[in-house]
Structure 1
Amino acid sequence: MKKIGLIVPYFGEFPNYFDLFLKSCAFNPSIDWLIFTDNEVEELPSNVKIVSMTFDQLKSLISYKLNTSAALLDPYKLCDYKPAYGKIFADYLEEYDFWGHCDIDLIFGNLRQFITEEILTEYDKIFMDGHLILYRNTKKVNHSFDLIGDKDTSFRYCIQVLEVMYFDEWGINLLYEKYGLRQYNNPRYADILPQSPYFRNVLFGDDQHHKNQFFQWRNGHVYKCWEENGEIQQREYSYIHLQKRAFPTPPSSLTKEEAFVISAYGFYSSNETVEINKANYKQAFQYHVKRLKGITPIKVKRTLKGLML
């Protein structure tokens, strides 16, 4: 089995469901997580390691490894550096066949069920969205971020811009297409739409929404469940992405339970009776307000360019 190590630099307060993120990591024992952070964590699964590091120390490491003094004013700008982690964190990755990066607003299911040995053998890059991407740990692949692309899809240009350019899921994907490199994209994850008051996910392939659907983590697996013809149906995903959503702090007891429900209003025990399909209009409104405030010429240009591809 090919060894996989995931790099997670994170600075600032962890989400209040971080313990459930760790719980889902623990159910993937053949994959390692390396979290570079200035936070302290008391209890960790055996496959998760904390590397103590400040944001300034990381900036120094990046400058040294990439021979650059590029713009990096806050941790969110790290989105543009993710495809270069194979070079930046090379000293931590020697034992791995694949390295990757992921966010921590995720709850993982059974990753190996969806990222098979066959896929890992055939492709150099797995997935195309920045919340989880894997790269083959070879010199050629680890330097692919530095291939020459168009202005706004070139790594060296993107890291000189103060604004986040989303090179991790825009520029690098276009570079792989341009140079005919092997990337796999058959997304079987539940990417929850932050603009929807209901708990709906981006649809891929034959996926569909159901009026009474809800999501559940159960014994290391993530499911979307719904009732149909008097029976509970389910569709399994590799993980669920809870982007740009704030939740009430989950009960600590959930870390000990075999299953829990994830809804627009947070995390609940599977034994608890809640309105799991209730819309959260407040969250959707706050998302749209923040989105409007964040509009910039670069974002408009990139959106228009994406529509024309």
Structure 2
Amino acid sequence: MKKIAVITLWFGPLHDYFRLWTRSLRANDGYDFLLFTDQEIDRTEIPDNLKVTRLTLEDLKETIIQRLHVKPTFQFSYKLCDFRPAFGELFAPYLTDYDFWGYCDMDLMFGKLSNFITDDILSTYQKIFNRGHLTLYKNEERINTLYRSSKTIDAQAIMESKACFIFDEWHGIHQVFKEFNVPQYHKECMADINPNKARYTCSNIQNYKKQLFVWEGGQVKQYFLNGGTMQHRELAYVHFQKRKISIDDASVYTSSAAVALTSFSFVPLNQKVSAGLIRKYDQPNYMHFLQRHSKRLFNTLSKYTNKAAPIDRSLISKTIEA
């Protein structure tokens, strides 16, 4: 069985969904999750496969200088996404015992990853998935250094820029691996929730007029009404990005009940999912919709006053392929 380490960086106060994220880690005992953070974590409330290391943002910048030989100029932690493809080198001392390493976001709940990332896939591919919220790499020198080998994408320039290039996703490291014909595996087996919609709507897989995402028994499921009947499919994880999640019932962290992910809150489910339950919980959150689009407008205006981290999709390169 392959040993896999997944790295997460977090600086500043933790969100309420942190304990939901940690709860979903327990069902993935074949993975170790390495959290580097400046926050004090109560180790009695986290699973054994979550390894926490205290690290300040300034400490991280110094490590970047020493191990990557680049000069970080970022002021926003979001910029760290551009450093993710270099984690194999940046955190090398923590990865010596692992066959694969990767990175993930915290605004998600994992299902049973081994149902989607099999030993056969791990034996065949050097890179698993192409989205920043979860990507895995084979832990070997060629793969760990490939990010800085491209003839068209200047990784050092990206990392030393204050702008965000989204280097960890399709238009970045994916293109570098394509340049060198390294096998990559990607299957749309996760729910990537569109942050700009009022209801939970996926940006990458089929949606239904009435649907509900549920975490139950360590699995993530998409329940939906199709042709008048209730159906479901299992997913690797659900990514509920850029949403302010209100948790009114703390039992979602500890109870044996399933968890329904709604556009308003995460709630414990003490009953089986039914068509009526899907209709009840699949409701639009128009307040989120208005706040999200107001924030996007504000960020657009802020680019002209240097109050927000600019996003640059050019990747300092020639035109790239999809």
TM-score w.r.t. length of structure 2:
0.88
1:204-224 deviation per Cα after TM superposition (whole angstroms, max 9, x unaligned):
3xxx22222111000100011
Structure 1 residue 202: deviation in Å?
1.7
Number of residue pairs the alignment of both structures matches: 303
Task: Tell whether the 8 Å contact from 2:104 to 2:132 is kept in structure 1 after alignment.
Answer: yes
Match for residue 82 of structure 1?
84
Match for residue 191 of structure 1?
192
Q: What is the letter of the counterpart of residue 260 of structure 1? A: V
Q: Secondary structure of 2:196's partner?
A: coil
> Which of 134, 146, 149 is matched with 1:147 structurally?
149
Q: Describe the shift of the 1:88–1:10 C-alpha distance in structure 2 as closer, same or farther (beyond 3 A).
A: same
Q: Describe the shift of the 1:248–1:306 C-alpha distance in structure 2 as closer, same or farther (beyond 3 A).
A: farther
Task: Tell whether the 8 Å contact from 1:16 to 1:250 is kept in structure 2 after alignment.
Answer: no
Moved more, 267-276 or 171-180: 267-276
Structure 1 residue 302: deviation in Å?
4.3
Q: What is the letter of the counterpart of residue 265 of structure 2? A: G
Q: Does 1:292 align with 2:285?
A: no
Match for residue 22 of structure 1?
22
What aligned pairs does 1:13-162 form with structure 2 within 5 A after superposition? 13-42=13-42, 43-150=45-152, 153-162=153-162
1:46-71 deviation per Cα after TM superposition (whole angstroms, max 9, x unaligned):
10011011111111111110112222
Q: Secondary structure of 2:281's partner?
A: coil
Measured in 2, the distance between the counterparts of 1:278 and 1:173 equals 35
> Which of 219, 222, 245 is matched with 1:221 structurally?
219
Q: Does 1:211 align with 2:209?
A: yes
Measured in 1, the distance between the counterparts of 2:159 and 2:230 equals 48
> Which of 239, 242, 245 is matched with 1:241 structurally?
239
Q: Describe the shift of the 1:55–1:98 C-alpha distance in structure 2 as closer, same or farther (beyond 3 A).
A: same
1:6-56 deviation per Cα after TM superposition (whole angstroms, max 9, x unaligned):
111110111211111101001111100010001112121010011011111
Match for residue 270 of structure 2?
271
Structure 1 residue 231: deviation in Å?
4.2
Structure 1 residue 228: deviation in Å?
4.1
Q: Which runs of 5+ in 1 are unaligned?
A: none
Structure 1 residue 72: deviation in Å?
2.4
Q: What is the letter of the counterpart of residue 186 of structure 2? A: N
Measured in 1, the distance between the counterparts of 2:108 and 2:204 equals 17
Match for residue 178 of structure 1?
179
- Give the RMSD, CA atoms, in angstroms: 2.2
Structure 1 residue 301: deviation in Å?
5.8
Task: Tell whether the 8 Å contact from 1:37 to 1:50 is kept in structure 2 after alignment.
Answer: yes
Q: Secondary structure of 2:234's partner?
A: strand
Return structure 1 stretches of 4+ with deviation > 6 angstroms: 305-308
Task: Tell whether the 8 Å contact from 2:125 to 2:183 is kept in structure 1 after alignment.
Answer: yes
Measured in 2, the distance between the counterparts of 1:44 and 1:230 equals 41
Q: Secondary structure of 2:260's partner?
A: strand
Q: What is the letter of the counterpart of residue 263 of structure 2? A: A
Match for residue 167 of structure 1?
167
Task: Tell whether the 8 Å contact from 1:17 to 1:250 is kept in structure 2 after alignment.
Answer: no
Q: Describe the shift of the 1:6–1:301 C-alpha distance in structure 2 as closer, same or farther (beyond 3 A).
A: closer
> Which of 226, 229, 232 is matched with 2:230 structurally?
232
Q: Describe the shift of the 1:250–1:38 C-alpha distance in structure 2 as closer, same or farther (beyond 3 A).
A: farther
Q: What is the letter of the counterpart of residue 299 of structure 2? A: G
Task: Tell whether the 8 Å contact from 2:64 to 2:72 is kept in structure 1 after alignment.
Answer: no
Measured in 1, the distance between the counterparts of 2:151 and 2:107 equals 30
Measured in 2, the distance between the counterparts of 1:261 and 1:269 equals 6
Measured in 2, the distance between the counterparts of 1:69 and 1:270 equals 49
Q: Describe the shift of the 1:289–1:100 C-alpha distance in structure 2 as closer, same or farther (beyond 3 A).
A: same
Q: What is the letter of the counterpart of residue 165 of structure 2? A: M
Task: Tell whether the 8 Å contact from 1:155 to 1:171 is kept in structure 2 after alignment.
Answer: no
Task: Tell whether the 8 Å contact from 2:165 to 2:312 is kept in structure 1 after alignment.
Answer: no
Task: Tell whether the 8 Å contact from 2:164 to 2:312 is kept in structure 1 after alignment.
Answer: no
Match for residue 203 of structure 2?
202
Q: Describe the shift of the 1:229–1:77 C-alpha distance in structure 2 as closer, same or farther (beyond 3 A).
A: closer
Q: Secondary structure of 2:292's partner?
A: helix
Structure 1 residue 308: deviation in Å?
7.8
1:146-202 deviation per Cα after TM superposition (whole angstroms, max 9, x unaligned):
11242xx32111112111111111221111112211111112000001111111112
Structure 1 residue 249: deviation in Å?
2.6
Measured in 1, the distance between the counterparts of 2:93 and 2:261 equals 37
TM-score w.r.t. length of structure 1:
0.92
Structure 1 residue 299: deviation in Å?
4.6
Moved more, 30-39 or 249-258: 249-258
